[in-house]
Structure 1
Amino acid sequence: MTRRAELVATSRADELALRALADVARITAGEDARIVGGQMASLLLTAFPVPGVQPRRTRDADTAITTELAGSGILHERLLERGYVATAGNSYARPVPELAIPGQPVPRLEADLLVPSRDSRFRAETHGGRQFDAVPGLHLALAASPIEISAAVTFLDGSVDEVVVLVPPVEVAIVVKAHAWASRHQPRDVEDLYRLLEIVDAYSPEEIGGWALDGVGLRGARGDAAAALWTLTRQVRRLSDIDVPAVRLAALVAAHVRRLTV
Structure 2
Amino acid sequence: MVRLLLHVYPSERAVPRSTVDADTALGDVEVIGVVTRQLQEDGFIKVGGNVLKKTVAPDQDVEINFLLPRDDYKTGIKSINVQSVGQVDTLSELSFALNSPAVVIDVEARLLGGEIIEYQTRVPSVEVAAILKAHSWSSRHSTKDLADLNTLLEIREEHPELSWRLDSRPLIGRRLDTARILRPLGKQITRRRSPIELPNNVSRVRFAALIQEHIGAP
Q: TM (normalized to structure 1)?
A: 0.73
**Contact 2:29–2:68 (CA under 8 A) maintained in structure 1:** no
Distance 1:221 1:82 in 2: 37
Matched pairs, number: 210
Aligned to 1:44: 5
Aligned to 2:77: 122
**Contact 2:102–2:123 (CA under 8 A) maintained in structure 1:** yes
Q: Does 1:245 align with 2:203?
A: yes
Runs of at least 4 residues off by over 4 Å: none
- Gap regions ≥5 residues in structure 1: 1-39
One of 153, 159, 163 as aligned partner of 1:197: 153
Q: Report the CA distance shift for 1:187/1:74 in structure 2 as closer, same or farther (over 3 A).
A: same
* Correspondence 1:90-239 to 2 at 5 A: 90-96=50-56, 99-100=57-58, 107-117=60-70, 118=72, 119-129=74-84, 130-205=86-161, 208=162, 210-237=163-190, 238=194, 239=196
Distance 1:115 1:169 in 2: 18
* Correspondence 1:10-49 to 2 at 5 A: 40-49=1-10
Distance 2:96 2:82 in 1: 20
**Contact 2:103–2:125 (CA under 8 A) maintained in structure 1:** yes
**Contact 1:136–1:221 (CA under 8 A) maintained in structure 2:** no
* AA in 1 matched with 2:79: A
Q: Does 1:87 align with 2:71?
A: no
> How far did residue 158 of structure 1 move?
4.1
> How far did residue 190 of structure 1 move?
0.8
> How far did residue 157 of structure 1 move?
4.7
Q: Kindly report the root-mean-square deviation, in angstroms, between the aligned alpha carbons of the 2 structures.
A: 2.0
Aligned to 1:27: none
Distance 1:218 1:127 in 2: 35
If asked which structure has higher relative contact order (CA below 8 Å, sep 6+), I would say 1
Aligned to 2:214: 256
Q: Deviations 1:114-160 (Å, cap 9, x if unpaired)? A: 11243212221223352111124211221112111112223445443
Q: Report the CA distance shift for 1:79/1:240 in structure 2 as closer, same or farther (over 3 A).
A: closer
> How far did residue 185 of structure 1 move?
1.3
Distance 1:199 1:177 in 2: 14
> How far did residue 168 of structure 1 move?
0.4
User: Which stretch of structure 1 is more off in the superposition, 229-238 or 125-134?
Assistant: 125-134
Aligned to 2:18: 57
Aligned to 1:37: none
Q: Deviations 1:31-65 (Å, cap 9, x if unpaired)? A: xxxxxxxxx11111121110132310111121011
Q: Deviations 1:213-249 (Å, cap 9, x if unpaired)? A: 1122323322111110102101112234433111111
Aligned to 1:3: none
> How far did residue 95 of structure 1 move?
3.3
Secondary structure of residue in 2 paired with 1:87: strand
Q: Report the CA distance shift for 1:126/1:218 in structure 2 as closer, same or farther (over 3 A).
A: farther
Q: Report the CA distance shift for 1:156/1:82 in structure 2 as closer, same or farther (over 3 A).
A: closer
